[in-house]
Chain A
Amino acid sequence: MAVAAMKKLTLVAHAKDKRKILKTLVGLGTAEVAASKDYDKTVKCDDAGLRAEFERKLNRVSFAFSFMKDTHRELNKLSDGEKAPEIPLEKLNLKRENKLIEYDDMISEVTENEHDLFSIISDLEDYNTRLTDIKTETARLTHQNEQLRDYLDFDIKFSSVKDTQRVAMFLGLIKGGKKEILLEGATQTAVLKFSGSGDGVFAMCLKEEKEQISKLLIAADFSRCPFTQDFTAKELTDKNNQRINELAEARLDIYKQAASAFKYAYELKVLYDYYFIELAKLDALARTAATSKAFVLEAWVTASAAELTQSKIKEAAPSAEIFVSDPQKGDPVPTYIRSNKFVSPFGINVTAMYGVPKYGELDPNPFVAFFYFLFFGFMLGDAGYGIILSLACFAYLLFRKPVKNSGSFILMFGLCGLSTILWGAIFGGWFSIESQYLQGSAIGRFLLNFKLIDPLSGSQALVMFGMALGLGVIQIAAGFFLSGVTKFRANNKLDAIFNDFSWVVILLGFIVLVFDLLGILKTSVAGIVIALTGLAMLIVGGALGKKNPVKMFIGAFKNVYGGINVFADILSYARLFGLGLTTGVIGMVINKIGALIIDLIPYAGYAIAAVVLLGGHAFNLLINLLGVYVHNCRLQYVEFFGKFYGGEGRAFAPLGSKTKYVYLTDKLETANNTKTNKLEINNNPTK
């Protein structure tokens, strides 16, 4: 349970072994490739050609995912429509797979399938081009139909609108409302026909009058019809519509064909991650110094996995020279935290969100886990909700069996549910049912046995308030204590004792004092004495290391004045009380509404009340889960970490640990286990 010790692994090998060694490292998942030193006559080269090829392949696979997603959506839409053709909708799963695979299996799977998969992708790309064509053509035809609409009333083929020996003909559009110009000015013999909308006009006149009619038409903003086909407007529209229908069918067919790629979704995901790792390998190579014949690779490995990593590389490339060394001061060593099952979910979801510790820094996770667990239940404070939360989370973990750390968030909430049950029982919160009703049943009376405090009965609310602040005092004292320990380890012993441990003493004094006032302890003045001792230490701490008496005084004053911040921090823990109250009171309101409905509406009231109670409590649980999660994080980040923790480390990210769709196995922990086993075996004979 701590920040794991790291070793630096430096290896020199033949250039031809490059890929073999990287493959071994990905398979092990124990090493993070670091930028190697700049040795004489070496270069760090980035293979731009290969990189571009991998990126292009990744883009193609991504395209396949997004095209399949579109296809799925379109088919869904089409099968919902009225003309629902029977489409057997295949399932499409583009989420991350809950699957752990070996890197060797991934490679063999990809080498086996790659060719087929890319031909499927090129099919999809083909479909996409055809769909674009269909879309363009449909749009063109629809647009043409709109233009044709003005001519639908003229039963004449476009091709026959042309001048004969004696007659001139016009077909086109005029500006709306200019119809009158034509009607008034037209000659006796001219024939004028208007479409229903009044925009389309057909005019026929003797050739002698052509000029006169032309002038009139120009005055009416006439524009000549662009169509010349051997069809009437109606025929052409029907033809277009028929083609549009054909295109729609073709579109559906394409989507149906594309849906056959759905069953390769998993293989495509593996392919994606394979190239994702290939890119990561290139990134690693770009960091290694190389000559044309050899290269130097530097990597961070956990101390426990160093031996295994070394031997596996030797297996893959016997000519490689490997040196394992301890990190030097100032090296950018990544942090790998090894925690037990209880602590690690809190470490991943609470501490890591803030920042992981620097290498060699104190691991705050055990403390965070303890306090987060403790506060969570206090804030949610209803045992009924706790039971539901724990059951739901543990059931999910049991049935889904998330691989690697993907279930840690759920696990954290499951654990916090246990804390909620504990505190809920103490506060007597069972779905906010009031105690007089609980008294009515045997189970209720049993549950009430655990009740120590009733937050909603007069002065006991103050007890809960006091407890919230008390928990705050404990966490803040722990924060100062850890700060002191950190300083102690950095050899600032006096600073630690007078500036940090002094606060622990003061807070301890306060606790004793409060217990004395409550009559739990009979200590008379011990509390005050302890607190004053702490205060004296604090004053000394402010003056420490300063020679000028004025500066000493200012330092001491600053230290004591800083007490205001500490008390503000303690008051911040009042939120524990506030949030605890929220859950209880809203739950109570929901129950009251339920009871009211049962009273008001006979018989049917029970059904309605059940819906209200279920919905209401679900809402209350969810909204308070969010609130509790957020405020609990805040207490850790601001009030607790503010005292001692920087979180400026960099998380250990071994080669092959970053994937998008599947998880790769790693030997980080197995190496650890075999190592300890070996040690035990070695130790046995000596015993």
Chain B
Amino acid sequence: MTLGTFLALLGAALSVGLAGIGSSIGVGTAGRAAAGVVSEDPDKFIKCLILQLIPGTQGLYGFIIGFLALLKINVFAGVSQLSLAAGLGMLAACLPMAISGLFSGIHQGKVAASGIALVAKKPEESTKAIVMSAMVETYALLGLIASFLAVFLPNYAAMV
């Protein structure tokens, strides 16, 4: 394996890993709030669960970028030998998703936790809580799109 391929794999790993960390922290924060509300009123379980789930998407986005990077490196059928420049390029391409996923996951979790508090008081307003936490996700989506285009469009294998 060349150093370039290693760097590209590192990019994929960071994308899956960091975005996953962001999501797990976010889902964890929201989950603690949800458990508190459900202990008072078990009927609110589904509404709380939906809000808890929302910060989980960053992890999925990170996984998508990681998976596409693996496809590009061709790990499923004989690994491509990337040049150093190509590997660095792929690593850089994965970073928008990794970073935006990490931080937006954490902060979306906080908004979702507050949203769960909103559901505890006014369950009929749960859509508003969902939309508020979706605001944070915009930036993870932008990271996803930037990484997607950067990973997917260039022909890294041909790069010298």
Contact = CB atoms under 8 A, between A and B. Distances in A.
Interface in B35-62: 50, 53-54, 56-57, 60-61
Interface residues of B, number: 28
A626 B141 contact: no
Point out which of B60, B76, B128 has the most chain A C-beta atoms below 10 A from its C-beta. B60
Interface in B48-80: 50, 53-54, 56-57, 60-61, 63-64, 67-68, 76
B131 A637 contact: yes
B158 interface: no
B68 A631 contact: no
Point out which of A571, A623, A634 has the most chain B C-beta atoms below 10 A from its C-beta. A634
Contact of B64 (A572, A582, A592, A633): A582
A465 B149 CA distance: 10
A581 B64 contact: yes
B2 interface: no
Interface in A611-631: 623, 626-627, 630-631
B148 interface: yes
A571 B142 CA distance: 9
A458 B134 contact: no
B145 A626 contact: no
Given A465-B145, A589-B67, A623 B60 contact: yes
Interface string B107-148: 000000000000000000001101100110110011011001
B152 interface: yes
Interface string A569-580: 001101101110
B149 to A, nearest CB: 7
Contact of A631 (B50, B127, B134, B149): B134
B153 interface: yes
A630 B115 CA distance: 14
A458 B141 CA distance: 20
A589 B68 CA distance: 10
A579 B64 contact: no
A292 interface: no
Point out which of A465, A577, A627 has the most chain B C-beta atoms below 10 A from its C-beta. A627
B71 to A, nearest CB: 9
Contacts of B68: 585
A156 interface: no
Contacts of A548: none
Point out which of A578, A586, A623 has the most chain B C-beta atoms below 10 A from its C-beta. A578
A630 B144 contact: no
Contact of A630 (B60, B67, B134): B134
A578 B141 contact: yes
A578 B142 CA distance: 8
A462 interface: yes
B131 A634 contact: yes
A353 interface: yes
A459 interface: yes
Contacts of B54: 626, 630
Point out which of A574, A585, A638 has the most chain B C-beta atoms below 10 A from its C-beta. A585
B50 A634 contact: no
Contacts of A633: 127, 130-131, 134
Contacts of A638: 135
A578 B139 CA distance: 11
Nearest to A592: B76
A461 interface: yes
B127 A353 contact: yes
Given A578-B144, A623-B53, A461 B138 contact: no
A465 B148 CA distance: 11
B83 to A, nearest CB: 20
A575 B146 CA distance: 11
Contacts of B137: 631
Point out which of B134, B142, B148 has the most chain A C-beta atoms below 10 A from its C-beta. B134
Nearest to B53: A626
Given A353-B127, A630-B54, A574 B142 contact: yes
B152 A461 contact: yes
Contacts of B63: 586, 589
B131 A458 contact: no
A533 to B, nearest CB: 32
Contacts of B131: 630, 633-634, 637
Contacts of A574: 141-142, 145
Interface string A432-460: 00000000000000000000000010110
Interface in B68-104: 68, 76
Contact of A461 (B64, B135, B153): B153
B78 to A, nearest CB: 16
Interface in A93-137: none
B141 A579 contact: yes
A608 to B, nearest CB: 20
Contacts of A458: 152-153
Contacts of B148: 461, 578, 581
A447 B137 CA distance: 34
Nearest to B65: A585
A634 B134 contact: yes
A461 B64 CA distance: 15
A582 B63 CA distance: 10
Nearest to B56: A623
Nearest to A574: B145
A586 B64 contact: yes
Contact of A623 (B57, B130, B144, B145): B57
Contact of B61 (A459, A582, A637): A582
Nearest to A632: B134
Contacts of A579: 141
A352 to B, nearest CB: 10
A586 B60 contact: yes
A581 B144 contact: yes
Given A630-B130, A633-B131, A634-B134, A575 B53 contact: no
The list of the 7 closest CB pairs from A to B, nearest first, reads A578-B141, A630-B134, A585-B64, A353-B127, A575-B141, A578-B144, A634-B134
Given A577-B145, A581-B148, A633-B134, 20 more contacts: A353-B128, A461-B148, A461-B152, A462-B149, A465-B149, A574-B142, A575-B138, A578-B142, A579-B141, A581-B64, A582-B57, A585-B64, A589-B63, A623-B60, A626-B54, A630-B134, A631-B137, A633-B127, A634-B131, A634-B135
8 contacts: A462-B149, A465-B149, A574-B142, A582-B57, A585-B64, A586-B64, A626-B54, A631-B134
